[in-house]
Chains A and B, each alone.
Chain A
């Protein structure tokens, strides 16, 4: 399974494909490109990854979610390349017999993906500036959130 894609994430189609008669609960998390960040208008985002490792790590995170929570299915896909305002850039779907496990597993997966998987977001602002999200070189700058590279 590919957990990274450069194509539009087709949420409805994926939800339909994951339908499972054992699951009475489906929790869906979508991360979308918003039109602002740190007080500035955002034009678009670009995502890059160390793909070989990122694929392995997302698979491993989903495996851990399956072990840790009683879910019938766990799914995650993350976008790479340019993403426009409003587009889905990360999708996590969890299915379980009851809602509690689906919610918990879903939050576990998205938290782990954001925290540990080697994927990087670059923001392109309307004023022409750019910024790497979560960049230590920027966060040590005195006048946050100005990007100083």
Chain B
């Protein structure tokens, strides 16, 4: 099933700001983070500490994704 990934901060040095990803039905946010780490090991240290958000709210990485979900990947913040 297709999902949409939106990246922020340092992740944009490794991935497009937005892109589509095909994942198996039943995939979780954590599965996506693991897969992206495998695809791009240089981004692994960031992905391992990313939070994820769905529909404007922080989400549990173990949550099963719906088809066409928008998954926001949030590296550790550095505001201020």
List residues of A whose CB falls within 8 A of some B CB.
Answer: 31, 47-50, 52-53, 56, 78, 89-90, 110, 113-122, 132-138, 140, 149
Residue B42 at the chain A interface, CB threshold 8 Å: yes
B80–A110 CB distance below 8 A: yes
Number of B residues near A (Cβ < 8 Å) is 24
If the complex has contacts A132-B13, A149-B14, are A137 and B77 also in contact, measured as CB distance less than 8 A?
A: no
CB pairs A–B below 8 angstroms (12 shown): A50-B53, A53-B56, A53-B58, A56-B56, A116-B77, A118-B8, A120-B10, A121-B78, A132-B10, A134-B77, A136-B10, A140-B45
Q: Which of A53, A119, A132 contacts B79 (CB 8 A)?
A: A119
Nearest-neighbor residue (CB-CB) of A115 within chain B: B77
CB distance from B29 to the nearest CB of A (A): 15
The DSSP consensus for interface residues of chain B is mixed
Of A53, A114, A117, A149, the residue contacting B13 (CB under 8 A) is A149
B63 interface residue, CB < 8 Å from A?
no
Compute how far the CA of A10 lies from the CA of B79 in the bound complex, rounded to whole angstroms: 19
Q: How far apart are the CA atoms of A133 and B77 in the complex, in Å? A: 8
B residues apposed to A, CB below 8 Å: 8-10, 13-14, 42-43, 45-46, 48-49, 51, 53, 56-58, 72, 74-80
Contact A52 B79 (CB under 8 A): no
Residue numbers in B under 8 Å from A149 (CB-CB):
10, 13-14, 42
Q: Which listed residue (B9, B45, B48) contacts A132, Cβ 8 A?
A: B9
Q: Which single residue of chain B is at the shortest CB-CB distance from A139?
A: B45
Contact, CB under 8 Å: B80 / A89: yes
